[in-house]
Amino acid sequence: MWRALALLVAASVGVTFFVVTIAPPVKKITVPLSQTAAVVAPSEFDTVRLVGKAAVVIDIKTGATLFVFNADTQLPLASLTKVPMVLAVSETLSPDDLMTIPYDTAPSSSGRRLTKGARWRVQDVIDFTLVASSNEGATMLAAAADAGLRQKYPQAPVGSATLWRMNDLARTLGLEHTYFLNVNGLDIDATHSGAYGSARDVAKLFAYAESADSSLFSDTRRDDISLTSPDGKHVTSAINTNEAQGEIPGLVMGKTGYTDLAGGNLAIVFDVGLSHPVVAVVLGSTRDDRFEDMQKLVSAARADIIAGR
């Protein structure tokens, strides 16, 4: 223990004490490297700015959320609704089953239509419906699956079993902000959408769709499709409504959505490397900006994952 050294000086008027304190030597403290503050590398998402009202990016392989922006805000879904519709009808309709088209999906002058009376494989109708985002195709598929779904789920109402199963599936998956009022996502009127959900809910839904049966949605990776009916009498084609399709490496599946109430929506699953799926969703953008918004998210996700951030 260090003590103060006191010096006494005698004086004629008394005794004066001078106290001199001698401090201990200063020790140099070295902080181990493991205790220093970690330097966090900047994320590519730090500079991402979107037109859309909500977005989310989730690494399906790790479960990590890479980007969130109003991810739990409930918004109109538009034709993203066709993905759960396909999941529902596929429970009772086999891809190779044949179904008769009850009415034309487009005017007779259009080469991109399903013609009344033609018989097509269910998977062909699914492909046409998803790639062209055909509302008529969605309605036909839902009607064709109605009886089978009612047999599987007796509690489902007659004539709307597919819609019932879509909502049941949303509940089963824990999609807290999602519900469907019709099978194609069209606006019901000027103030009511045909379906509502959040970006996070849509991401969960698409991740489930990819894991459940990605083959149902495989043609959504293509720029366009050409189809021939099994009897060879009918030929049709469809151009992909996802204009960013060719700009997304590793695309597994995707679906667009656009209505007056929804604006521009886009949801995709894409691979970063071998068997490393990522899901990205943009809601409430514009018809054109949704594609640029998505390309920004895909680019940032790929850069961060490859860099190990």
Q: What is the per-residue pLDDT across 138-153, written as a single tens digit (0 to 9) for each?
A: 999 999 999 999 999 9
pLDDT of residue 298 exceeding 70, the answer is yes
Residue 220 lies in a domain: yes
Confidence of residue 107 (pLDDT cuts 50, 70, 90): confident
DSSP 77: -
Q: What pLDDT, on a 0 to 100 scale, did the predictor assign at position 25?
A: 46
Alpha carbon of 296 to those of 113, 170, 191, 199, 241: distances in Å? 33, 28, 31, 16, 19
Residue 6 lies in a domain: no
pLDDT of residue 36 exceeding 70, the answer is no
Residue tagged 């008529």 (tokens): 136
> The pTM is what?
0.86
In 3D space, the residue among 93, 165, 167 whose CA is nearest the CA of residue 126 turns out to be 93
Distance from C-alpha of 71 to C-alpha of 56, rounded to nearest angstrom: 6
Residue 224 lies in a domain: yes
Confidence of residue 71 (pLDDT cuts 50, 70, 90): very high
Range of the domain at 278: 50-307
Residue 130 lies in a domain: yes
CATH of the domain at 258: 3.40.710.10
CB 88 within 8 A of CB 169: yes
Residue 129 lies in a domain: yes
Residue 27 lies in a domain: no
Residue 34 lies in a domain: no
Residue 302 lies in a domain: yes
For the chain, how many structural domains are there in total?
1
Confidence of residue 41 (pLDDT cuts 50, 70, 90): low
**Beta sheet of 179-180, edge-to-edge order:** 75-76, 195-197, 179-180
